[in-house]
Amino acid sequence: MRKNTHPTTFRNAILLLVIFSLSIHTGFGQNRPAFTSEALKTMHVRNIGPGAMSGRITAIAVDPTHPEVIYAGAASGGVWRSKSAGTAWEPIFDKAPTQGIGSIAINPRNPDEIWVGTGEGNPRNSQNFGAGIFKTINGGKDWVCMGLQNTRTIHRMVLHRDNPEVVFAASLGSAYGPTEDRGVFKSSDGGKTWKKVLYVNDLTGCADLVADPQNPNKLYAALWEYRRWPWFFKSGGKGSGLYVSYDAGETWEKRTEKDGLPEGDLGRIGLAVAKSNPDIVYALVEAKENALYKSTDGGKKWQKMADKGQGDRPFYYSEIYVDPKNENRVYSIFTFISKSEDGGKSFATWAGWTIHPDHHAFWISPANPNYIINGNDGGLNITLDGGKTW
């Protein structure tokens, strides 16, 4: 039978241990040289690149005329540029009032014109808010705020292919309370003024916005009702839904369960249009049963595809991408990256622990689909052989 230690003896032992520890600590401090401000004079603060929490990559854009020029946006690390296909990087957004990045868009007619939507679009408890939309016309040397400072989060930006004055911004708004600075905004004068063209309620923002690659006036928008508290997160509600516009955002049509989408309240939705066949549209839908949905008629009717292997934790992920040359090859990025070769019917893990998990940004070269850039919680990864090596 085990013998119990007397309480008084135990307390005395603990007291002696604490006194002994304090005496050692005090002696330690007496032998250590005093710290003075003189020691800081030889130290120079420098930015060492994406890493830790600020290195969570949230946006990727590549110069369409010079694919070795890459732009990467970080959750709270600003915008970085590489002119050497990712070998070396330099920060180009350090003077901006925020370093939280949600989206990057490059003018295809003028690659020196770059738009940045600030505020991370993944509303976990460490989300970093933004301060509006910024634009440079000299490749990142100088930036000008183009407005929408109160939106807090610009998760997508779409530049009209044929009209450089038309710009769209998808705002998620604040995660922590109601605000009317949400939805889809449109500028018809190059960002000087903005008009809200799609809005549902003060808890519903725009989680995704994509344009038809052959018809820039046709847009798909995913609205998401959500709310975060310091201790809780609610995803989904009556405000969530999938919308289509045929007139550059002036009017919108909602798609519902009558069109093949799931019944009940929806959550976050990720969207992708196949460049090789724009009639093929994919929607990664958070619902009572999360699943991938597919349209083969340009977004009019939808059919449920895979409900396994296509993702998890929609509030933090929910991104879907299509191979620009193969409408049946689909990538879903989440904790891992899964790939479908049969048009979304089934998915298999494509990138597991070979690279850092928790993926948020993805770019596939339109000229060479084996060249892929991936952004995740650990930084940025590049493959030139379709994922065999990174």
Structure tokens at 286: 């958070």
- According to the model, what pLDDT value does residue 39 have? 65
- CA torsion sign, 204 to 205 to 210 to 211? positive
Domains and CATH numbers, the chain: 53-383 (2.130.10.10)
What's the rounded Cα separation, in Å, for the pair 151 and 376? 24
Per-residue pLDDT at 361 = 97
Q: Note the pLDDT of residue 49.
A: 53
> Is there a contact between 74 and 91 (Cβ–Cβ < 8 Å)?
no
Give me the pLDDT at residue 131, please: 97
Tell me the mean pLDDT per 10 residues along the chain, length 390.
41 43 41 61 66 74 96 95 96 96 96 97 85 98 98 97 97 96 98 98 98 98 96 95 99 99 97 99 96 98 93 86 98 96 97 92 97 96 96
CA geometry: angle 275, 321, 379, nearest 5 deg: 130
The answer to whether residues 365 and 358 touch, using CB atoms and an 8 Å cutoff, is no
Would you state the pLDDT for residue 16?
Answer: 44
CA distances from 168 to 55, 194, 210, 306, 352 (A): 27, 9, 10, 31, 34
pLDDT of 313: 81
